[in-house]
Structure 1
Amino acid sequence: MTQADCRAQIAAHDRAATESPRRVEFIGLLALMMAVTAFGIDAMLPALPQIGGALVPDDPIRAQLVITSFIFGMGVGTFVTGPLSDFLGRKPVIAVGLVLYAAGALVSWAAPSMTTLLAGRLLMGLGASGPRVTVMAIVRDRFHGAEMARIMSLVAVVFMVVPAIAPSTGALIMHGAGWRGIFLFYALFATLALSWFYLRMPETLATAARRPVRLAMMRDALREMARLPVIRLSIAIQLMVFGMMFAMLSSIQGIFETAYDQGTNFPLWFMVIAGASAASGLLNSHIVMRIGILRIVRSTFAVQVVLTVGMLAVLALPLPRQVEFVFWMIWASSVFMQTSLTVGNVNALAMEPVGHIAGLASSLIAAFATIGSVVLAVPIGLASDGTPLAMALGVLVLAGLSLVLSWRLREG
């Protein structure tokens, strides 16, 4: 095929890709793909005590691994989904991902033991990595510049709603069908999402624009990234921030129930926390150009350290539980807000020197940060005794280290 033929094929493909679906439906489809990940984590939170009581009654704290096994699988899958979508096209990678997600949900639904359940959750995470990575590529295929940023911001606004409603959705399903019913919901959700996506979303990557998967390319990219201090620092900071957030996600329901007797109201309180996180993300988008990335990142970590020291002081004082709960809500919200104010900014710094391999670099950074965060989150979560103490100590160490590393970052 000549170069002119390739250009003609790509142009014809681009015209076809813009005909369907309409923009509102396009945004809805992409938000739905991203919701697969959020529902896969947050809808499980109300069910952790019941899962622990049913499958590991002698050590119910191990139910937290239902969250981190999903995240670990998603991190592993992120290594390959980006390059595969460049080689096979966007639709096949998302389709395979959603099939794996549904299959993992069915394995988890039928699981007779915690080991089988964790295997199913790992498979779900692997599947979720397909939509997680490929959605960004689809937007890059169809839009550019300010229009691309506008579409992604609209998708993000829709996506922000999901963490707020997912625990309530999980609790509602569990009330009617038990904790196993949540996994049937996952399988149905993935099936419906796949059907809608495959029927309405055209392939956005023309055959002539596809690139074969080359291990040598990944090796060279890893070597180039390893030589750049900003990449190393970004990965280290992101894995610590994600480590704090995933440890919090793993233990937050137990803390609400055990320490504050708010297990029944947990979905509503989590909605407040998720709302604060979404608001901080919107705040960041409005102030980052005026204040600068490094000032926001360093200030956020400094505030997190101060708030965590304050939380530890509150835990050491003989305060009424209702008063302590107010401080807990403020501090727990700050951990999620920290993620919104730092991860995107740090990642933007990391991507500046690797624009020529942006897709591959983005996948590798996300994979390393996600997998590394699980290594940190699991021991912090399992150390929980039902109070915020272990969580606060873990956050103090990780936020402090992140603050130190952030002073080694440089813009430009």
Structure 2
Amino acid sequence: MHPHEFVAFVAAVMAVNALGVDLMLPALSDIGRELSVAQANHRQWVITVYMLGFGAGQLVYGPLADRYGRRPVLLATLAGFVGASVFAAGSATFAALLGARLLQGLMSASTRVLAVAIVRDGSSGRQMARTMSIAQMIFFIVPIMAPTVGQGLLAFGPWRFIFYALGAFAAAILAWTALRLPETLPAERRTPISLSALRGSYRLVLTNRFSIGYAVAASLTFGGIIAFVSSAQQIFVDEFGAGDRFTLLFAICAGAMGLASFANSRLVERLGTRLISQAAVLALVALSVVHVAVILLDAETLVSYIAFQALSMTCIGLCGSNFGAMAMEPVGRIAGTASSVQGFVTSIGAVLVGSAIGQSYAGTTLPLAVGYLCIGVAVLGLVLVIEQGQLFRARMTLR
């Protein structure tokens, strides 16, 4: 593949998961009404169950990809995602839909593991962070546009059309993979699946303080994204009465992450992953303190919420790809397995954090603002532990 096509391909693979989360946001109310979901907060499970499957599935695909290569695993799971999308579209009950969403998440888990592993096969460190930032910049266009696309699909048919559209997009990526993706893992670098090999790989990933530490840090910031996405429709529509403006307002907040990734791709090789990500964490803490104060003073408005949310998403966007690159740096020789373990930790942790914040929604933005403050403080403390009390170090010392 040409480098430009490669970046576009990685972004498209990552977009399967983004669409799986964001495309149906405008349809949550319709799903709740048709499938008799009594409590509004329970509609959030359409998002969180998917993310639960997404997190759990990642433990499987890394070892498979390290044994059989990246390409066959990606082909098989994309086909499975297409099937799960059709199943979701035909769901007659909320329980059946959640089952289909869990299966979708399990299948889409490969996209995260393999996107990182495929990039890591050919690059590392700041170069990897730059490639991932460019891919994520393109990828973040998806959550900006997805709710609008979902709203457009609802204009032509019921919410089930959204799941057929998801299946069609995955089928297109499946064809692109089959026709254009070469295998990036040479045969001589493949490792057999064995309990002893897995124990050794898991031990390396879970005991290296950079690997596990930055994976946990990424899980906390990712939890902030899940909290926002799962409660966005309730906040914008139910609390602030945004109505048809929901997709535009959501796009403003999500777009901030895209701009952050673009800025990171231009700056990371010059400033380094540490300077950028650690400054972003400090900014997130400061923003959250001010946001909580605004809410407690009863001064929160739709405009203030959008401003604080967009700025907070900018900070989170500056953390994500950098935390991921720093977590992968010491475990590149087992990139597939490492990506799966780190992805499991990141995703499951994010589901727990995001669900706790999202399910706390009670008609105000205070739980989200307090949740972001807790995330920022926790990540800052974790980074201090990882870096042994030193912020803004230029180089990693692997131990």
Is this a same-fold pair by TM over 0.5? yes
1:328-368 residue CA offsets vs partner (Å, 9 max, x unmatched): 01121133222221132233333343343343223211211
Match of 2:15 in 1: 35
- Any idea what SS the aligned residue of 1:58 has? coil
**TM-score normalised to the size of structure 1?**
0.85
Verify: 1:345 aligned to 2:322, yes or no: yes
Question: Residues 357 and 193 from structure 1, CA distance in 2 versus in 1: closer, same or farther, beyond 3 angstroms?
Answer: closer
Match of 2:392 in 1: none
| Partner amino acid, structure 2, of 1:339 | I
Match of 2:240 in 1: 260
Aligned equivalent of 1:198, options 171, 174, 178: 178
Match of 1:76 in 2: 56
- Any idea what SS the aligned residue of 2:241 has? coil
- Give the drift of 1:52: 2.0
* Counterpart Cα distance in 2 of 1:136 and 1:294: 19
- Give the drift of 1:162: 1.4
Residue pair 2:113, 2:339 contacting (<8 A) in 1 also:
no
1:287-334 residue CA offsets vs partner (Å, 9 max, x unmatched): 445544444333322222222222222223344xxx711210112113
Stretch moving more, 261-270 or 218-227: 218-227
Question: What RMSD in Å do the two structures reach over aligned CA positions?
Answer: 2.6
Match of 2:85 in 1: 105
Question: Residues 263 and 359 from structure 1, CA distance in 2 versus in 1: closer, same or farther, beyond 3 angstroms?
Answer: same
RCO higher in structure (CA 8 A, sep ≥6): 2
Q: Provide the identity percentage.
A: 35
**TM-score normalised to the size of structure 2?**
0.88
Stretch moving more, 143-152 or 271-280: 143-152
Verify: 1:64 aligned to 2:41, yes or no: no
Stretch moving more, 27-36 or 201-210: 201-210
| Partner amino acid, structure 1, of 2:85 | A
Stretch moving more, 228-237 or 286-295: 286-295
Stretch moving more, 310-319 or 236-245: 310-319
Residue pair 2:120, 2:335 contacting (<8 A) in 1 also:
no
1:84-103 residue CA offsets vs partner (Å, 9 max, x unmatched): 12222323211211122112
- Give the drift of 1:189: 1.7
- Any idea what SS the aligned residue of 1:408 has? helix
Match of 2:67 in 1: 87
Residue pair 1:52, 1:61 contacting (<8 A) in 2 also:
no
Match of 2:100 in 1: 120
* Counterpart Cα distance in 1 of 2:312 and 2:235: 15
Match of 1:12 in 2: none
* Counterpart Cα distance in 2 of 1:294 and 1:151: 17
Question: Residues 362 and 136 from structure 1, CA distance in 2 versus in 1: closer, same or farther, beyond 3 angstroms?
Answer: closer
Unaligned runs of 5+ in 1: 1-20
> Which protein shows a greater Rg?
1
| Partner amino acid, structure 1, of 2:365 | P
Match of 1:221 in 2: 201
Question: Residues 204 and 51 from structure 1, CA distance in 2 versus in 1: closer, same or farther, beyond 3 angstroms?
Answer: same
Aligned equivalent of 2:302, options 321, 325, 331: 325
* Counterpart Cα distance in 1 of 2:66 and 2:343: 17
- Any idea what SS the aligned residue of 2:363 has? coil
Residue pair 1:244, 1:335 contacting (<8 A) in 2 also:
no
Unaligned runs of 5+ in 2: 388-395
* Counterpart Cα distance in 2 of 1:148 and 1:289: 10
- Give the drift of 1:104: 1.6
Match of 2:280 in 1: 300
Match of 2:154 in 1: 174
